[in-house]
């Protein structure tokens, strides 16, 4: 469920974003991915869906009913991820601030990349996969990384036709039998 202290507004750079309309304390749940699940067998992936779902397993994603799907990425975020779906304040957030998290806290694939223009001093410029996240950043985010990424080597995506399709920037077609 969305925290009542956030609202969707236009941003200067990225279209829509989510902003604090009152002070939020460290540890508060800000939003949650609480919507429909999708996996490789779904045959109607769109760019819009791909950009707004959160990865929660090697071949599994989830959308949100509320504002979570509209949260923008930052390389200097004020929120992180608890378990798989909760977006939680990593520090106190002041009224007026945009709510952000770091997409590499949940994503791991060999194909998804995004140019970042967040403007933070430590901006990594291109983000995409937790496997590329620098060690110093992982240490900073300790406790705020999606639990599916911490399960070990078995969580590595399979190298299949699926993986090839993804490298071309789209979700794979329905798995072949
Ligand atoms: Zn950045």
Convert the pLDDT of each residue in 37-86 to its tens digit. 999 889 999 989 988 999 999 999 999 999 999 999 999 999 999 999 99
Per-residue pLDDT, 153: 59
If one counts the domains in the chain, the total is: 1
Name 126's Cβ contacts closer than 8 Å, sequence gap at least 6: 113, 114, 115, 116
Q: Which residue range forms the structural domain that includes residue 137? A: 6-167
CATH number for the domain spanning 139: value is: 2.170.270.10
Per-residue pLDDT, 158: 52
- Give the bridge partners for 103, in sequence order: none
Q: Looking at the domain assignment, is residue 176 inside a domain?
A: no
Per-residue pLDDT, 112: 86
Q: How far is the CA of 66 from the centre of ligand 1 (A)?
A: 24
Q: How far is the CA of 76 from the centre of ligand 1 (A)?
A: 7
Per-residue pLDDT, 173: 46
Q: Are strands 100-101 and 6-10 parallel, antiparallel or unpaired?
A: unpaired
Of the CA atoms within 13 Å of residue 11, those in its CB half-sphere come to 20
* Rounded CA separation 116/128 (Å): 10
Q: How far is the CA of 160 from the centre of ligand 1 (A)?
A: 30
Q: How far is the CA of 131 from the centre of ligand 1 (A)?
A: 16
Q: How far is the CA of 47 from the centre of ligand 1 (A)?
A: 21
Q: How far is the CA of 130 from the centre of ligand 1 (A)?
A: 14
Q: How far is the CA of 105 from the centre of ligand 1 (A)?
A: 13
Q: How far is the CA of 84 from the centre of ligand 1 (A)?
A: 22
Per-residue pLDDT, 148: 96
Q: Looking at the domain assignment, is residue 140 inside a domain?
A: yes
Per-residue pLDDT, 5: 98
Q: How far is the CA of 147 from the centre of ligand 1 (A)?
A: 23
Q: How far is the CA of 21 from the centre of ligand 1 (A)?
A: 24
pTM score of the predicted model: 0.84
Low-confidence ranges of the chain (pLDDT < 70): 152-177
Q: Retrieve residue 104's tokens.
A: 């590499």
């Amino acid at each position: 469920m969305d925290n009542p202290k956030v609202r969707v507004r236009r941003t200067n750079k990225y279209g829509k974003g989510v902003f604090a309309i009152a002070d939020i304390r460290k540890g508060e749940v800000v939003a949650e991915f609480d919507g429909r699940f999708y996996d490789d067998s779904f045959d109607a992936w769109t760019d819009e869906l791909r950009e707004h779902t959160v990865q929660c397993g090697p071949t599994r994603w989830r959308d949100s009913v509320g504002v979570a799907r509209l949260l923008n990425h930052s390389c200097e975020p004020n929120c992180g991820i608890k378990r798989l779906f909760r977006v939680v304040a990593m520090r106190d957030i002041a009224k007026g601030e945009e709510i952000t998290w770091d997409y590499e806290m949940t994503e791991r694939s060999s194909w998804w990349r995004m140019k970042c223009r967040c403007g933070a001093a430590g901006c990594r410029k291109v983000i995409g996969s937790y496997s590329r996240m620098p060690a110093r950043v992982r240490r900073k985010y300790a406790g705020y990384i999606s639990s599916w990424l911490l399960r070990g080597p078995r969580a590595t995506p399979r190298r299949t036709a699926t993986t090839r399709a993804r490298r071309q920037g789209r979700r794979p077609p329905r798995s072949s039998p």
